Chain A
């Protein structure tokens, strides 16, 4: 045991945000961004568990061409198909609205954004808590309706108001307004409420980044994670209200038969698709941009290298946020919009390929001549780069008009967006969790199990989704409860892959749990990062920074050196010439 460790044990119990005050109300009414981040984590990870469970069930039911889970008589045929339709609606809706959109901003963003700004909290702490409760309200309503449908179709259990929702997460009219199950209105209301949580978080982050940046942190000295969150917040604030309006119109159409979307009432069903994708395409960037921000942090810190091409990465986040608003029409290439509009949207769609490519090359440039540590966070980040490359490149087939026509609405599209949503966003989320876990909980996870989970998830993911590209190119449409026998081999391989993914994600959960319970105490700076959150003890004190931190280039990693006695990084005593001089000396963390 080192002297430092011995001395830290002799000190009275450390006052940190977890121990500062106790009791249920101290959590339920907390205004602390760190605790709100953890509250979000419990709910968002529960949503991930729910959506993931149904992903595995969907894959399992697709093992055979005709739903082997139910007896093969005609009455059960109807039941099996309704069950499948409720399952895929639940999987998509829960994953999109309750997991992917809030995951990185609401958990990692809430926790890290004020700390990266050297601030005590976000700009509007009460709004932050309100946004969490709005999320809970929407999530509970949404889950109730969706689970009601599952229980009714699978077990004939009728929950009060558990009507079920069988529209998929896209609510396409006129199916949703005239034919779908009765949970449509309440389910859409749930999505509407969840949207407000997203808007309020966005407002809070924008205000925080504008007003709370400390002296010396100019826009181009912000960590790239903050650029990514800023770009994300712009989309959340500008696009989500359009979804809110659209969902209200949908409810009005269903209940009052207004005639906006339903062609039998004189409306236009394709208009709904324009409204819906005007939000939901930018929403794709709400999902992926924060992940890109995480990767920029992780790649730099774990390869001990200054990020390569900071300006290009920062501005490409903003470019993606803005260009993302101009491409929604590529979801309607076969819906019957005019050929001219199709062509314009195709051209605009290709514009988003460029900032995405720039980011990938810049991350590779960061690895060049680095000193790469294969930590779990780094392995997840490397998995991200490869899977995002595949996800991005396969987008070229779908952006090009002639090839999109046969591939649209097939499993090729399913594979493409899972490479972006899961292969990229979930890998980035896990990279971020492994990166910041020591900061959040003050404990280290066992890295061997983390590495094992990262490699296993990479294998499982490709086994699940690569066959879906081939199946889609051969013509298998999406959202099919049953299928011709020719497609069975692809489905079987894909299902096996989903089991591998499930095993690796359970490994991650156990790894975190073991880290929380029995993990080694984390040093303030276990990886040697230089953004401001690493200048603060682990876990952070209640009000974050005992002394105001002094701002430095967030990627000046040379300012730190490894101290084997605490298994962490400490400010370098003798500053090398490359470092930024006297300022860095004052950034001494308070522990040790």
Chain B
């Protein structure tokens, strides 16, 4: 409740009906919303007033004679057939006009590929780099090319008034032009199983300079392998299910101390050495692990060989079974001395 009052006070919640307008087309959609809204208010009040008035005026009273009334009135009935017909044609027209605006991206729009999987999004930019966080530049047309790795998901940006299903096997597109800086929600709107309600993300609208700077840092290029592995864990969706501090998520084993520890799988005991880690990262669910559902999405196309190597390096770095420091010398040294 407090959160809501704060939002109302700060304007972050928008009006009674609609959230704030975050894109160029939001104004057009909201205009149509309120156009229809006032038509609805008018007709509802008309029905309400007539119903209450008739119910009161013509209520049954003892001894009152029956009133004469017509059984039909063709002229009147045709009138109340035609007036709604005209109104809905007008509404259709404005809905169509607005939709054409929403549906056709400008030819020079900046393209971001959106891939959805159970239950996360990833975003790939024209420079080939990928992120699980969406940043877009303000006042620039951006087209999202949507596809899914598994089932149908939704891609809904309430403040931008756009939504499209993300359907496996096809590329759906929507476009936006953000008009104000800041962070707002992305919701999955198509039921996609267990964690559908947690499939939420954010879009960060930045100035063009900030966006270009953010894009340049994307991909973790230049980081040493362990840091880059950690970066990939954060940005490629691994952290949705794998913790790195030993916490149980219920969805997948933690990476903490995983390296060189025995793993009980459905097909026997495995030692989590480099080969095992490489195999289960590149071929998810190949050895289903006891106590977990085999829900890891495919990583083909998401991670290349260097990425896998860096992730293994990161997993090793957080294991008590890995000793990067130079061990103490043991035994005598032979050979020529200086």
Contact = CB atoms under 8 A, between A and B. Distances in A.
Nearest to B1: A489
Interface string B162-204: 1111011110100000000000010111111111111010000
B97 to A, nearest CB: 7
A390 B100 CA distance: 28
A74 B292 CA distance: 13
Nearest to B72: A309
B56 to A, nearest CB: 9
Contacts of A81: 194-195, 197-198
Contacts of B51: 364, 367, 382, 385-386
Given A335-B167, A479-B196, A486-B4, A303 B58 contact: yes
Contacts of A406: 29, 156, 158, 161-163
B68 A405 contact: no
Contact of B99 (A305, A373, A401): A401
Given A350-B92, A354-B84, A264 B168 contact: yes
A354 B251 contact: no
Contact of B48 (A167, A267, A268, A386): A386
B73 interface: yes
A438 to B, nearest CB: 18
Given A312-B72, A353-B84, A358-B77, A75 B250 contact: yes
B115 to A, nearest CB: 14
Contacts of B187: 475, 477
Nearest to B198: A482
A367 B54 contact: yes
A477 B156 contact: yes
A449 interface: no
Chain B contact-residue range equals 35 or more
Nearest to B39: A396
Contacts of A166: 193-194
A316 B140 CA distance: 49
Tell me the dominant secondary structure on chain B's binding face. Answer: mixed
A78 interface: yes
Contacts of A408: 163, 189
A336 B164 contact: yes
A287 B192 CA distance: 27
A484 B4 contact: no
B58 A309 contact: no
B192 to A, nearest CB: 6
Interface in A229-267: 263-264, 267
Contact of B151 (A85, A175, A351, A389): A175
B109 interface: no
A474 B100 contact: no
Interface stretch (A13-21, A123-131, A340-348, A456-464): A340-348
A203 interface: no
A25 interface: no
B197 to A, nearest CB: 4
B32 interface: yes
B72 A311 contact: yes
Interface in B254-294: none
A304 B54 CA distance: 13
Contacts of A84: 197
B88 A305 contact: no
Given A264-B168, A308-B72, A409 B54 contact: no
Interface centre among A400, A479, A481, A484, by most chain B C-beta atoms within 10 angstroms, is A400
Nearest to A306: B71
Interface string A55-81: 000000000000000000111011001
Nearest to A397: B36
A78 to B, nearest CB: 5
A583 interface: no
Nearest to B18: A473
B214 interface: no
A402 interface: yes
Contact of A168 (B19, B89, B99, B191): B191
B296 to A, nearest CB: 13
Contacts of A507: none
B9 to A, nearest CB: 13
Interface string B214-251: 00000000000000000000000000000000011111
B161 A179 contact: no
A399 B13 contact: no
Contacts of A390: 44
Given A179-B193, A364-B50, A410-B189, A389 B150 contact: no
Contacts of B159: 475
A175 B169 contact: no
Interface in B46-93: 47-48, 50-51, 54-55, 58-60, 64, 66-73, 76-77, 80-81, 84-85, 88-89, 91-92
Contacts of B309: none
A172 B54 contact: no
A446 interface: no
B98 interface: yes
B14 interface: yes
Contacts of B28: 402
B37 to A, nearest CB: 8
B58 A354 contact: no
Contacts of A475: 19, 156, 158-159, 185, 187
Contact of A374 (B59, B84, B194): B59
Interface in A347-362: 347, 350-351, 353-354, 357-358, 360-362
A305 B158 CA distance: 49
Contacts of A558: 66
B33 A403 contact: yes
Interface centre among B59, B67, B103, B169, by most chain A C-beta atoms within 10 angstroms, is B169
Contacts of A263: 167-170
A369 B69 contact: yes
Interface string B94-135: 111111111110000000000000100000000000000000
Given A402-B94, A403-B95, A78 B77 contact: no
Nearest to A576: B66
A475 B160 CA distance: 11
B17 A399 contact: no
- List the 5 closest pairs (A to B, CB-CB), nearest first: A402-B98, A263-B169, A475-B158, A400-B95, A401-B99
Interface of B: 1, 3-4, 7, 13-14, 16-19, 28-29, 32-33, 36-37, 39-40, 43-44, 47-48, 50-51, 54-55, 58-60, 64, 66-73, 76-77, 80-81, 84-85, 88-89, 91-92, 94-104, 118, 150-152, 154, 156, 158-159, 161-165, 167-170, 172, 185, 187-198, 200, 247-251
Interface of A: 73-75, 77-78, 81-82, 84-85, 166-168, 172-175, 178-180, 263-264, 267-270, 303-312, 334-336, 339, 342-343, 346-347, 350-351, 353-354, 357-358, 360-362, 364-365, 367-374, 382, 385-386, 389-390, 393-394, 396-397, 399-406, 408-410, 470, 473-475, 477-486, 488-489, 555, 558
25 contacts: A172-B152, A174-B152, A312-B81, A335-B167, A347-B92, A353-B84, A353-B88, A354-B84, A373-B60, A382-B51, A400-B92, A400-B95, A403-B98, A405-B161, A406-B156, A409-B156, A410-B189, A473-B17, A474-B17, A474-B158, A475-B159, A477-B187, A479-B191, A479-B197, A484-B185
